[in-house]
């Protein structure tokens, strides 16, 4: 009945791409490969270069070195409008003087598609994002989330080889953000289009992506599945940026860290011996309130109820503050004395001093 938005998914390759803004090196020889149909998130703090990388791929920034290939073809010399990509911007990208339907049709009009076919395909794209009845509205009459869905339909209707999303959810309310990211992921899986998604929100990246690349100062620190990044962070920066971490002072000797009375294996590249800070996840710390429990003594500072779990901050005898995640049934109050133990999973560490 309806012509599916079938796309032949493409491979994307950035090879040692360099971008300089005056004295500032935004991209420092970054290399990245996307498999056909893969959803990769570029994650990092502001200024790390993730948006620059995306815009370089789109052709909106010229590169100073390295190459960019889509489906094996070098596109570095191609202007943006010839790269056959779809892009969703953070905000304000819908044309204000055109209706929603006319906005979605725009890419088809550029490709000289006949009016009747344009209308049908645009309507399909709008139906796909759930805004089929809003075709005659204008951008200023829609909410932020609806505008981004229109932007998505507009980017997809031309069946591009690659879909680029530049922090599309950052300007939206929290609840809309969660709904929309799931919708984006569903559509992307259904269509099988190769996608690059830029965000600074690590929860978002972990939730939707096949693979996540953590960027810092123009380079990729680590790329892997969300699980890999969370459980085996390659560097302390990744350990700190992805998920929450406690920093526990300890000593590293021959690949083993001794901290807070427990031993941990060291994750990541070998480091010289010496004093370190170990990154321990709150859910890897065990809290016990009964008198018969064993472990380190600690005093409860504060406890937060988060619906499905509790997070309690405690202070050890040596002054270290720890954040512990545990089940809701335990309800420690400020001032209580509790017992702390560690699960001993391997951890990242940074040298101190």
Burial of 288 (0-12, 13-18, 19+ CB in 10 A): middle
Stretch that binds other proteins, among 83-91, 195-203, 313-321, 338-346 (CB under 8 A): 83-91
Q: Which is nearer to other proteins, 154 or 326 (CB)?
A: 154
Q: Is 72 in the site for other proteins (CB under 8 A)?
A: no
Q: What is the 3-class SS of 151-220, one letter each residue?
A: HHHHHHCCCCCEEEEECCCCCCCHHHHHHHHHHHHHHHHHHCCEEEEEECCHHHHHHHCCEEEEEECCEE
Q: Please, what is the minimum distance in Å from the beta carbon of residue 190 to other proteins?
A: 22
CA 309 to chain centre: 23
- Which CB sits closer to other proteins, 141 or 179? 141
CB of 141 to other proteins, least distance (A): 10
Residue 336, interface with other proteins (CB under 8 A)? no
Stretch that binds other proteins, among 3-11, 58-66, 128-136, 232-240 (CB under 8 A): 58-66
- 93 near other proteins (CB under 8 A): yes
Cβ atoms of residues 118 and 108 within 8 Å: yes
Instruction: Please name the residue that has the structure tokens 């994650």.
Output: 43
The answer to whether residues 242 and 216 touch, using CB atoms and an 8 Å cutoff, is no
197 binds other proteins (CB under 8 A): no
Footprint (CB under 8 A) of other proteins, residues 157-186? 158, 164
Mark the segment that binds other proteins (CB under 8 A) among 104-112, 179-187, 308-316, 329-337. Answer: 104-112
- Between 84 and 210, whose beta carbon lies closer to other proteins? 84
86: exposed, middle or buried (Cβ count in 10 Å: 0-12, 13-18, 19+): buried
d(CA 289, CA 308) in angstroms, rounded, equals 19
Binder to other proteins among 79, 272, 307, 319 (CB under 8 A)? 79
Which of 47, 91, 183, 231 contacts other proteins by CB under 8 A?
Answer: 91
Token pair listed for 40: 């990769």
Q: Which of 29, 47, 65, 192 binds other proteins (CB under 8 A)?
A: 65
Number of residues that bind other proteins (CB under 8 A): 40
The one among 22, 72, 96, 307 contacting other proteins by CB under 8 A = 96
Residues 125-154 close enough to bind other proteins by CB under 8 A? 140, 151, 154
Min dist CB 49 to other proteins, Å, is: 17
Q: Contact region for other proteins (CB under 8 A) — 27-35, 92-100, 175-183, 258-266?
A: 92-100
The answer to whether 216 touches 44, Cβ cutoff 8 Å, is yes
List 13, 61, 167, 204, residue binding other proteins (CB under 8 A): 61
Residues that bind other proteins (CB under 8 A): 15, 58-67, 74, 76-77, 79-82, 84-87, 89, 91-97, 106-107, 110-111, 140, 151, 154-155, 158, 164
């Amino acid at each position: 009945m309806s012509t599916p938005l079938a796309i032949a998914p493409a491979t994307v390759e950035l090879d040692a791409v360099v971008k300089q803004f005056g004295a500032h090196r935004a991209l420092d020889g970054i290399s990245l490969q996307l498999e056909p149909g893969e959803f990769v998130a570029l994650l990092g703090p502001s200024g790390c270069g993730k948006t620059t990388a995306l815009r370089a791929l789109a052709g909106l920034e010229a590169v100073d070195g390295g190459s960019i290939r889509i489906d094996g073809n070098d596109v570095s010399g191609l202007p943006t409008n010839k790269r056959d990509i779809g892009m969703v911007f953070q905000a304000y990208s819908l044309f204000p003087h055109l209706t929603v339907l006319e906005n979605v049709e725009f890419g088809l009009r550029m490709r000289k598609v006949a009016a009747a076919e344009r209308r049908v395909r645009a309507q399909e794209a709008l139906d796909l994002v759930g805004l089929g009845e809003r075709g005659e509205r204008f951008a200023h009459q829609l909410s932020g989330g609806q505008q981004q869905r229109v932007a998505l339909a507009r980017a997809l209707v031309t069946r591009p080889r690659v879909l680029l999303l530049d922090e599309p959810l950052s300007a939206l309310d929290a609840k809309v953000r969660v709904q929309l990211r799931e919708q984006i992921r569903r559509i992307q899986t259904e269509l099988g289009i190769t996608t690059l998604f830029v965000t600074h929100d690590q929860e978002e990246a972990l939730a939707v992506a096949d693979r996540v690349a953590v960027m810092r100062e123009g380079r990729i620190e680590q790329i892997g599945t969300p699980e890999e990044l969370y459980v085996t962070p390659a560097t302390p920066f990744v350990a700190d940026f992805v998920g929450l971490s406690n920093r526990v002072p300890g000593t590293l000797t021959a690949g083993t860290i001794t901290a807070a009375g427990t031993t941990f294996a060291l994750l990541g590249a070998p480091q010289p011996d010496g004093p370190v800070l170990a990154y321990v996840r709150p859910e890897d710390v065990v809290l016990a309130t009964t008198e018969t429990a064993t472990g380190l003594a600690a005093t409860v500072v504060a406890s937060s109820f988060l619906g499905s779990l509790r997070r309690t901050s405690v202070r050890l005898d040596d002054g270290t503050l720890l954040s512990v995640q545990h089940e809701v049934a335990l309800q420690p109050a400020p001032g209580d004395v509790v017992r702390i133990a560690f699960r001993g999973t391997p951890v990242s560490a940074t040298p101190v001093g």
